[in-house]
Structure 1
Amino acid sequence: MSQKDAAPAAWTVECLPNELLGIICDLLPNSDIKNIRLASPLLGQKCQLKISRVFMSPNPVNIKVAMAIATHKSHRSRVEEIIWDDATLVPSGGDEGLFPEYSEESDTEIPEELAVEDQESFAWFARGCKSSMKAAKDRIAGPISRPDIVSKQHQLDNAMSYQDLYHGFRIVTKVLAEEKHNVTELMFDAHQLNTGINHFALNRGTEEYKNFCDILKRPGFQKLHLSLLVGFYLAEEYEIYDERYLHDALYEATDMRHLSFHTDSATNRHSWTIDIHKYTSLFDVFPIDRWQQLTHFGLLNVLVAQTDLIAFLSKLPRTVQTVGFLTFMEGDGHYISLMEDIRDKLDWKHRTLERRVKIVAKIFCYLSYYGRYICVDKEVEEFVYNDGPQPFQLRQRDNSSDVDPGTGVLKDLFNPAWERPNDYSAERRLVFPRQQ
């Protein structure tokens, strides 16, 4: 096609009303919008990129991009989400970064400079973007590269304090506590990786705990997703439950509507580091009577006693629309009996169709990829509400999260668009064409 033939088409697009052009751009990915913007200066002004979230990390390029967006007249008003990633790449020249105590470099000069620069950058960006933003931890829920193995043991064995290990958490909570903003959602999501926020950061008396409380008690704060790195249960040190530190912080969030609480406790395994005599009731952790507008309550990898859980679920406000689960104490519950108790002991089954609670059930078992899970939501709701077949199977002691092939759907936390049948028969296997 000659340039002469292409000119009328370009002129026709430029003449489209702004409203129609905006609708077209809403249906296109940013990669296509970029090409349209390059077609002419006029289209570059009319067709705006869809920048609703900003990715920040120790990478100077990401900080520079975030600053450019914050100073842009139109882009900054569309930002709704800030993704903070604390991960750094291992230096390719050796393992000096893994063993700082043996490094000849100073341990104080560079981190201090970076700390000041990162904090100023984040605070400056938060002031620039006043729309509703949510600060998230570790990964975005989109089709991004899957992370390699994350070593929790290295973090636990490292001589550095937890403040240095969770530098991003300190900055985010400090800035959000000090700056005037309208942030209503805060997410620290580990996406089932064996990591999270060190639980010592939320012990009473720490700066992080004070800032965390200041954020939660702001009027209008509605959503919290908290992933904690708990490791072993040490009764003499693990005071976030025993001394009600977490309870007292959550008590301030009277407008809470969505709460998800995750830990790094092993999924589908009983805990050998805590016995039932040291178990802390859910009522002593979550001030459920304060959350009269709650719509979602989720627990994942959280040790519970089934009797305590059923009592807790019975006290949820009728505004709750979804719940998600769990890991059980040894000898006190499993999924088969839990679903039976929900069906028989709670009034959920007798509610009207629009008032029924949606039960979210994710099974992380034999799957080898991080983020992959079996979704059995439909099967669970069919059992609870329509007297369908029991979806779970008790094949191993203290493990009733197994499901038969054909039950549920395979999904991916890192790629919401990815979905496969939970069927490993030959005709269901994916065959990738060999590249020539």
Structure 2
Amino acid sequence: MATSIALQALPSELIGAICRLLPNCDIKSLRLTCRYWRQNSLLRVDRVFISANPRNVEVLFAVANHDIFRHCVKEIMWDDAVLELVSSKEGDGPCGYSSYETDRDADSEEKGRISRHFETEDEKSQWRGFRIVTRVLAQAENCQISELVLDNNKLPTGLNHFVFEEPNEEYDDLCRIVQRPGFRRIVLSLLVGYFFDCDAEDWDFYRNGRISNLLAKAPDLQEVVLQTDYPVDATSWSGKMKDFVSLTNIFPIGKWSDGILTHFRLSEMQVTQDDLICFSSKLSSTLQSIELSFLSGLNG
């Protein structure tokens, strides 16, 4: 009892210094000892997750409604976990067969009626985390955003390249985010793995200047990472020149030459040696590091 009273007599600054040295699991145990420690030893909640998991949504709202924890959050992460495939069971029938094999659509066409369209916009708003998060960030005009990280963590996934093909709301939201003062870092992961051995026109989203235009809108940009899920293995270490896109078409090298860029990373992209050397030589003199990994060399 005397020990408990003595600990409670410690200055709040000292208690805070002690708690900063403890992991969250120990702080949780400390908070269970008595009411005093529950009120004075706070958990470090600097990251929350958004996903389709109801529990994650409950935690997010609990943190957002907490007078203290909501001010500690520095990262909001979209948890797009890769789930294991469900093994089929013996005897599984063709579920849903009657719904898509029905002749109602054919009957309506014969009678001249137009079938009701699929509500794609509603579906995208409900499930596509990137679309939702970027729209919220773009609309939060008073929110200071210093970085945007869309990392695939080396998984065969990423941002759909269609964002950079035609005018769309998602691209406009990205532009509004990066052009804010103080925006310093962007990590883009593109989903292009299924383009292997496809037509040259499929790479036009690199050539049309929309990625370059996006990056050029960030005046305070210091770190840029562009990575894809393009397969670089024993069968695709080298590609064909029909797929070649100069790095100067993808990145705003003219703006970066006089900029404040400090770090540049390129991963799982198709390049030529000459173009890569030429591009690297034009990067800003403020550059401190350049990282090149899993690049596929194109042959003439």
Calculate the TM-score normalised by the size of structure 1. Answer: 0.57
CA contact (8 A) 1:56 1:66 kept: yes
Counterpart in 2 of 1:375? none
Question: How many aligned residue pairs are there?
Answer: 272
| Partners of 1:103 and 1:168 in 2: CA distance | 32
> What is the deviation of 1:8?
2.5
1:115-156 Cα offsets, whole Å, 9 max, x none, are 45xxxxxxxxxxxxxxxxxxxxxxxxxxxxxxxxxxxxxxxx
> What is the deviation of 1:52?
0.8
Q: Are 2:38 and 1:13 aligned? A: no
| Partners of 2:280 and 2:146 in 1: CA distance | 25
- Cα–Cα, structure 1 residues 209 and 113, in superposed 2: closer, same or farther, change >3 Å? closer
> What is the deviation of 1:262?
0.5
* One-letter amino acid matched to 1:317: S
Counterpart in 1 of 2:57? 63
Residue among 260, 269, 274 paired with 1:293: 260
CA contact (8 A) 2:240 2:299 kept: no
1:105-124 Cα offsets, whole Å, 9 max, x none, are 9xx79x958945xxxxxxxx
- Cα–Cα, structure 1 residues 278 and 88, in superposed 2: closer, same or farther, change >3 Å? closer
Secondary structure of the residue aligned to 1:220 is coil
1:21-100 to 2 correspondences below 5 Å: 21-87=15-81, 89=83
1:327-366 to 2 correspondences below 5 Å: 327-331=295-299
> What is the deviation of 1:75?
0.8
- Cα–Cα, structure 1 residues 226 and 113, in superposed 2: closer, same or farther, change >3 Å? closer
1:266-294 Cα offsets, whole Å, 9 max, x none, are 23557489522441111111113323111
| Partners of 1:21 and 1:103 in 2: CA distance | 66
Counterpart in 2 of 1:168? 129
- Cα–Cα, structure 1 residues 12 and 74, in superposed 2: closer, same or farther, change >3 Å? same
- Aligned-pair Cα RMSD in Å: 3.0
1:228-250 Cα offsets, whole Å, 9 max, x none, are 01121533343211211211111
Q: Are 2:240 and 1:275 aligned? A: yes
Residue among 267, 279, 286 paired with 1:312: 279
Q: Are 2:174 and 1:212 aligned? A: yes
| Partners of 2:230 and 2:27 in 1: CA distance | 44
- Cα–Cα, structure 1 residues 214 and 268, in superposed 2: closer, same or farther, change >3 Å? same
1:361-384 Cα offsets, whole Å, 9 max, x none, are xxxxxxxxxxxxxxxxxxxxxxxx
Residue among 218, 236, 239 paired with 2:201: 236
- Cα–Cα, structure 1 residues 303 and 102, in superposed 2: closer, same or farther, change >3 Å? farther
Counterpart in 2 of 1:322? 289
| Partners of 1:308 and 1:92 in 2: CA distance | 45
1:191-236 Cα offsets, whole Å, 9 max, x none, are 1111111111222312211212221222221110111011215333
Residue among 185, 206, 216 paired with 1:251: 216
* One-letter amino acid matched to 1:318: S
Report percent identity of matched pairs. Answer: 40
| Partners of 2:181 and 2:81 in 1: CA distance | 32
Secondary structure of the residue aligned to 2:15 is helix
| Partners of 1:209 and 1:100 in 2: CA distance | 38
1:373-412 Cα offsets, whole Å, 9 max, x none, are xxxxxxxxxxxxxxxxxxxxxxxxxxxxxxxxxxxxxxxx
CA contact (8 A) 1:225 1:260 kept: yes
Counterpart in 2 of 1:413? none
> What is the deviation of 1:92?
5.7
* One-letter amino acid matched to 1:75: F
CA contact (8 A) 2:270 2:298 kept: no
> What is the deviation of 1:85?
1.4
CA contact (8 A) 2:192 2:230 kept: yes
- Cα–Cα, structure 1 residues 299 and 93, in superposed 2: closer, same or farther, change >3 Å? closer
| Partners of 1:242 and 1:100 in 2: CA distance | 44
| Partners of 2:200 and 2:46 in 1: CA distance | 43
- Cα–Cα, structure 1 residues 114 and 260, in superposed 2: closer, same or farther, change >3 Å? closer
Calculate the TM-score normalised by the size of structure 2. Answer: 0.81
- Cα–Cα, structure 1 residues 206 and 114, in superposed 2: closer, same or farther, change >3 Å? closer
Structure 2 segments unaligned to the other structure (5+ residues):
101-117
* One-letter amino acid matched to 1:21: I
| Partners of 2:229 and 2:167 in 1: CA distance | 24
Secondary structure of the residue aligned to 1:49 is coil
* One-letter amino acid matched to 1:224: I
| Partners of 2:36 and 2:205 in 1: CA distance | 57
Q: Are 2:192 and 1:225 aligned? A: no
Counterpart in 1 of 2:229? 264
| Partners of 1:257 and 1:312 in 2: CA distance | 17
| Partners of 2:154 and 2:229 in 1: CA distance | 8
Structure 1 segments unaligned to the other structure (5+ residues):
1-6, 117-163, 333-436
CA contact (8 A) 2:200 2:242 kept: no
